[in-house]
Chain A
Amino acid sequence: MVRTILHLARKDLLLFLTDKRAIALTFLLPVAMITIFYFAFGGSPDDGNNPVVALMLSDMDSTEASQRFVGELDSLKGLRLDRATSEAGSRNAVAEGKRVAALIIHPGFGDSLARGSSLPLEVIYDSGRPMEFGILSQLLYAAVGNFAGESQAKARAKKQMMETFGMDEATVEGLMAQMNGRASDAQSAPPFTVQEVVGERDNDFSLIQAVAGTAVMLLLFSVAGMGSGLLMEREAGTLKKLLYAPISPISILGGKFASTLILSVAQLLLMFVFAALAFGLDLSRNLPALVLMIVATAAVCASLGMMLASVSRSRKQLDGFSTILILTMSAIGGSMMPVVFMPVLFQKLAVGTVNYWSIQGFYDIYWRNLPITAVLDNAGVLLGLAALMMGVSAYFFRRNLVRLL
């Protein structure tokens, strides 16, 4: 049976190699799409650190403190500051949809910082762009916390000592100085610190999202096309002729699966190699895990292609089924945008998609830098889904064969 399956797969691969359009769609389109998605997700061919969110800023305080704060914001990765000279300028930029949000530093910022009182900061945002603002607010929250934490803690401690012990300001400052900074070290630390625990190495998130998300989505479209080969054989009469030969129907399905699997692995490999060569994705980081995830992803996608082709009664029906299913899975499963930016309900639904398990596996390898053991569950789920889908394919394939006669 294995010999027959390989013989059938070889024929499909030969047919594939004669089809220039199929070759272009399988190998060139994904490369182009990865490039587009990489830039769309904020990647850069230069250093991979270009800003992704622009913030309008009006510094109406213009003190040394406010300028230090602006400098702090300016140094943040993933944030670009566009300065407006007036408060109205910032407000208008948001109102007209030119910017997702604006930060207005009102007069008195420096004094409030020194006194440890509430900072006169105002954020205006476009409620129609919640996801972009979500990213922005995280950045702002961390920046304000880091900047204001130390200054405000010192100011509050000084004020408390003066009120509690009736000391004058000079005495308190002298006392604090005598403590050799130990008190300040202990008490003036900001309420929290922000430290990246992942993504500190060479690979950037945009690239991983672009490669993993695009790879799975395009592979799904490719396998749907390859699966249609089964229906084309039905229409051309070659499937019926195969049934006259001394081979089992399952071998025919197996041959189609094997060729689709081989092409899927090749397509995924090409996408990752391209990402490495063009954008510097470090493939050497965890090669065994990458191979495992590529094989598992290819297997589940190939099985899905077989299932769609076996269930469909015509190529038109297959096109309809596959387009709806693949777009839905890609949207929910994280191919089009990271799952973390989606509503909670969608995040729960995502686990039912092929894309989710595959993309999360690639995140584990390249973003979270986890060992191969961390992707075993992802690969296991994908291979389990593949087995399930092949079972469904076999059932429907056998059942629909009678229509050939």
Chain B
Amino acid sequence: MNGISLCIERGECYALLGPNGAGKTTTINLLSGLLLPDSGQVSINGYNPVKDPLLVKASIGVIPQEIALYDELTARQNLHFWAGLYNISPAEIRRRADAALERIGLKDRADQPLHTFSGGMKRRINIAAAILHRPVILFMDEPTVGIDPQSRIHIYELIDELHREGMTILYTTHYMEEAEKLCDRIGIMDLGLLVAEGSLRQLRDRLPNQSRIHLETRGLTPEVGVQLQHLYGDRIAIGEEQVWLSPTLVHRDIAELVRHCGELHVDIQHLEVTEADLEAVFLELTGRALRD
């Protein structure tokens, strides 16, 4: 990893998006104090992982990629064990474990060993085990890899709830849909570098010519078409009562196009913007597809 600089605000959900080997897990290991940086500084909740590793670790919860639980123990025993590593009283652990099992929809299976659970159910226990101690920051390292759609939805809902409750979340994924759906800001990583960062809008705006504005019109005569082509040049395509524009800046171009149509007495029946997705952004930034 080299030259990474990122700041995650309290209560923010931040996605690190990148293909396998981009450095997402290494970033988490650095932030959680498992790896020491050769240079640079890390501050988690005001603590330095090099100087105060235990304070950092007490502030964070980590959901690793692999389902790291004890299959022979029950769901409840697993939760009690993992919570017991933090400074929480046994009575409080019992209370929180019951609440967590309820929250993830597995209370009825609390006393069954994990080897009887599906992969998705184990993933949910994996998440519950990481939040029982109520961390300030939650690191989620590709928590939905290899699970069924139902469990995936459950996990999305859980993350959304945690986010709304104000938990700070760093979420690594190579699924752009997850980053788009769950997170406030997205950092795009490749080969150990943070190649771009921003909100979904800001990232999409980096590729304006991959977005398209599509109008369905009434009153679009050939003469009006010629006038529009004169105004926008190669960026515009005219069809029968239809206009396609590749914008340079989406919002500005929408406003201009709507204004020009009004001036030329063309009624707009339908307007649709097709934006560049993160896959395209990643391709543009790295020259490689996200899932390469």
Contact = CB atoms under 8 A, between A and B. Distances in A.
Interface residues of B, number: 27
A15 B72 contact: yes
B86 interface: yes
Contact of B68 (A19, A241, A405): A241
A134 interface: no
A245 to B, nearest CB: 4
Contacts of B151: none
Contact of A15 (B53, B55, B68, B73): B73
18 contacts: A7-B85, A15-B70, A15-B72, A15-B73, A18-B72, A19-B72, A237-B68, A241-B62, A243-B34, A244-B60, A245-B57, A245-B82, A245-B86, A246-B57, A246-B85, A405-B29, A405-B34, A405-B35
A11 interface: yes
A238 interface: yes
Max chain A CB contacts within 10 Å: which of B32, B69, B85? B85
Given A244-B57, A244-B62, 9 more contacts: A7-B81, A15-B73, A18-B113, A237-B64, A237-B66, A240-B34, A240-B68, A245-B82, A248-B54
A7 B84 contact: yes
* 9 tightest Cβ-Cβ pairs between the two chains A and B: A237-B68, A241-B68, A237-B66, A246-B57, A245-B85, A244-B62, A18-B72, A246-B58, A246-B54
Nearest to A12: B70
A11 B58 contact: no
Interface string A1-45: 000100100010011001100000000000000000000000000
A236 interface: yes
B217 interface: no
Nearest to A241: B68
Contact of B85 (A14, A15, A242, A405): A242
Contacts of B210: none
Contacts of B62: 241, 244
A247 interface: yes
B73 A236 contact: no
Contacts, number: 59
Given A244-B32, A245-B57, A405-B29, A238 B85 contact: no
B36 to A, nearest CB: 10
A235 to B, nearest CB: 10
B72 A241 contact: no
Contacts of A236: 66, 68
B267 to A, nearest CB: 60
Max chain A CB contacts within 10 Å: which of B54, B64, B84? B84
Interface in B180-223: none
A237 B141 CA distance: 13
Contacts of A15: 70, 72-73
B20 interface: no
B207 to A, nearest CB: 35
A7 B73 CA distance: 15
A13 to B, nearest CB: 11
Contact of A11 (B34, B57, B70): B70
B77 interface: yes
A242 B84 CA distance: 11
Nearest to A244: B62
Max chain B CB contacts within 10 Å: which of A4, A7, A241? A241
Interface in B22-52: 26, 29, 32, 34-35
A259 to B, nearest CB: 13
A242 B78 CA distance: 12
Contacts of B26: 405
Given A7-B84, A7-B85, A18-B73, A244 B66 contact: no
A14 B57 contact: no
